[in-house]
Structure 1
Amino acid sequence: MDVDVAARHEWIRPGAFEVAPGVHRIPLPMPGDGLRAVNVYAVDDGDGLVLVDAGWARPEAREALEAALGDLGRGLGDVRRFLVTHLHQDHYTLAVRLRAEFGTPIALGEGERPSLEALLSGTHDRQLGKLERGGAAELAAMVRSAVAADGGKPEPNYEAPDEWLADGDEIDLGTRTLRVVSTPGHTRGHVVFADAAHSLLFAGDHVLPHITPSIGLEAARTPLPLGDYLDSLRRVRELPDLRLLPAHGPATPSAHARVEELLEHHEQRLDRTAEALEPGVETAFEVAGRLGWTRRERNFADLDVFNQVLAVGETAAHLNVLVARDRASRSAVDGVDRYRSI
């Protein structure tokens, strides 16, 4: 690994790292996942700890969390509450496992109800409908085969939270007060936690320092997730500029600086998507094949199946914003969304 790459991934080093008085960042491993790790934040509330996000329900993550808490002179039983930014498994599922053992209550944004209900019922189509509407029938068939091999069971390690959080709720932790700010886009119920008095923003996956979060990868997607996400970025920009405590990547001094970069990135991506929409009628799958992916501008065909699924969804999200801005039109033909430049 070269020096630049090593420095970029320094944040995944295990341990408990103080990012502010009474707040420690604890990276938990995500073996086999390109994100490498997820940050959990341990907040001292006077009598114990509150964790912002919880990690993935995997043995490696639990072991790393227990070791990091031990470095702070604490144990898993000292965690009094989980505040979870959103429903994705690397944020939510370890909380469910630990609640079964220690009774620790879990709080989650109320906008995640529809997706959680779909996950618990096993009725979600695991992006199949979105792929088929995007013109990626062959890709959908590959995913369907994988789902069938898994037995189509409900997702493991998902249960309802103890508390649903609403936008504007204030959470008194004794040492500080966190304000719940609804930030739909990455998921429909994503929330961030703002600690204005201490200039901290627990941002989950909403604002990430090195990458752009996926949009609308969830069981119950909204009609315009990218539009929701851009609105949510602007909402964070209206807050005081707080220190960014992201779920993936190192803490950085300014949430606003990264918000501006993300807004600019998506404007550029919208322009590139419009340029890739050739004359005639196109599907999201066809347009995705003409765009570069990741920082390396990889070809769509070179992506693995999971990332091709993400790419089709991202392309559809950008095309639908172009439609909303009257830069493209959309029509449905035989269950497939087809787009045309205006």
Structure 2
Amino acid sequence: MTNTHDHGGGVRSVRVPIPDNPLGHTLVYVVDTDRGPVLIDTGWDDPASWDTLADGLAACGTAPAEIHGVVITHHHPDHHGLSGKVREASGAWIAMHAADAAIVRRTRSAEPERWFTYMAAKLTAAGAPEEHVAPLRGARRRNLPGLSPALPDREIVPGDLLPLPGRRLRAIWTPGHTPGHVCLHLEEAHPAGLPGNGRLFSGDHVLPEITPHIGLYEDPDDATITDPLGDYLDSLERVARLSPAEILPAHQHPFTDAGTRVADLLTHHESRLTDLLSLLSDPLTAWQLAERMEWNRPWDQIPYGSRNIAVSEAESHLRRLVKLGRAEAVAGSNPVTYTAV
């Protein structure tokens, strides 16, 4: 099976593998412009992934050295990982929304020990058992991917057209999965004449068959009470209003009928919030709630790192319920428990 696909109208994609990940691959889009090809996302920083990207670009009639610019939908390593290598090969600019660029700067400067301390405190506050928190207390920097991501040199400003000569690509800010996630609206007629308004590169915001992770925005220096799930649901409706003819996501496959998919995602989250309220008939910590939530496998089979992600997702749902006045923290509880109102 070829790793490249021609979507028509000067847009192709390369399937770049994500090592040891059930998602399988990131779809990196190659958009022709009057100044040379521009990439939307780059894939995971891994030698095999780089080789796949380079081979895919060759199959598209170009090469890493010919890339004019890189537009990043969000800072996660399966999207931003290879950006630095592309820039080294070509001198391309890298553009990212300011909120995610701030995360990249913090990641590059942070002491990993400080991050582990912060995570240990967060998990303890969420009610995690000591045996889960203990490994973080003595943790030291390992060669984790994404600890020195490339610094972007351009800012994606929501609502603006990106500097792609000869193309109309507009940035749509869609926070939720990350605080600076953007979708990119190609405001050009669909090459196959499909009805709707152009095409939307949706990153991880809207995928055809899976729901993106919506956890808390982690910033050790920021005590603001954020509401990522609220942000996500608002941004979903923004995408539905665009009514694109086709969605080109960063994982899985392109699809049409954005309105139906958005409606399904809104229904999914509403029913999930309702399910969580029934669980909160008894006071529960975020950890206890995560243990009882429905995941793609039983809790005792969920690996260590994924449990941290699950707890973060439980917390984002709790925040939404509290903000809606449907749940509240139990006064004096430590770790904090929540109960339905």
Contact 2:29 2:39 in 1 (8 A): yes
Range moving further from structure 2, 312-321 or 93-102: 93-102
Equivalent in the alignment of 1:301: 300
Structure 1, residues 44-69: CA drift from partner, whole Å, max 9, x if none?
A: 11342000001111111111111111
Aligned length: 325
Equivalent in the alignment of 1:61: 49
Pairing 1:192–2:158 present: no
Output the CA distance in 1 between the equivalents of 2:139 and 2:187: 44
For 1:162, which of 153, 168, 193 is the aligned residue?
A: 153
Output the CA distance in 2 between the equivalents of 1:149 and 1:156: 9
Structure 1, residues 273-303: CA drift from partner, whole Å, max 9, x if none?
A: 1111132x21011111112202xxx222221
Which has more strand, going by share of residues?
A: 1
Pairing 1:144–2:136 present: yes
- 5+ unaligned residues in a row in structure 1: which ranges? 1-12
Output the CA distance in 2 between the equivalents of 1:255 and 1:145: 44
Aligned CA RMSD, in angstroms, stands at: 2.3
Task: Give the C-alpha shift of residue 155 in structure 1.
Answer: 4.8
Residues 70 and 259 of structure 1, relative CA distance in 2, 3 Å threshold? same
State the one-letter code of the partner of 1:150. Answer: R
Equivalent in the alignment of 2:289: 287
Output the CA distance in 2 between the equivalents of 1:75 and 1:14: 17
1:26 aligns to what SS in structure 2? strand
For 2:169, which of 156, 174, 178 is the aligned residue?
A: 178
Structure 1, residues 259-279: CA drift from partner, whole Å, max 9, x if none?
A: 111111101111111111132
Equivalent in the alignment of 1:310: 309
Contact 1:208 1:248 in 2 (8 A): yes
Contact 2:28 2:40 in 1 (8 A): yes
Task: Give the C-alpha shift of residue 139 in structure 1.
Answer: 6.2
Give aligned-pair identity as a percent.
Answer: 34
Equivalent in the alignment of 1:209: 208
Contact 2:280 2:339 in 1 (8 A): yes
Equivalent in the alignment of 1:32: 20
TM-score if structure 2 supplies the norm length?
Answer: 0.88
Matches within 5 A, 1:101-140: 101-123=89-111, 125=115, 127-138=119-130
Contact 1:215 1:314 in 2 (8 A): yes
Output the CA distance in 2 between the equivalents of 1:20 and 1:216: 35
Output the CA distance in 2 between the equivalents of 1:138 and 1:255: 44
- 5+ unaligned residues in a row in structure 2: which ranges? 190-197
State the one-letter code of the partner of 1:67. Answer: D
Residues 159 and 331 of structure 1, relative CA distance in 2, 3 Å threshold? farther
Pairing 1:93–2:85 present: no
For 1:238, which of 234, 238, 241 is the aligned residue?
A: 241
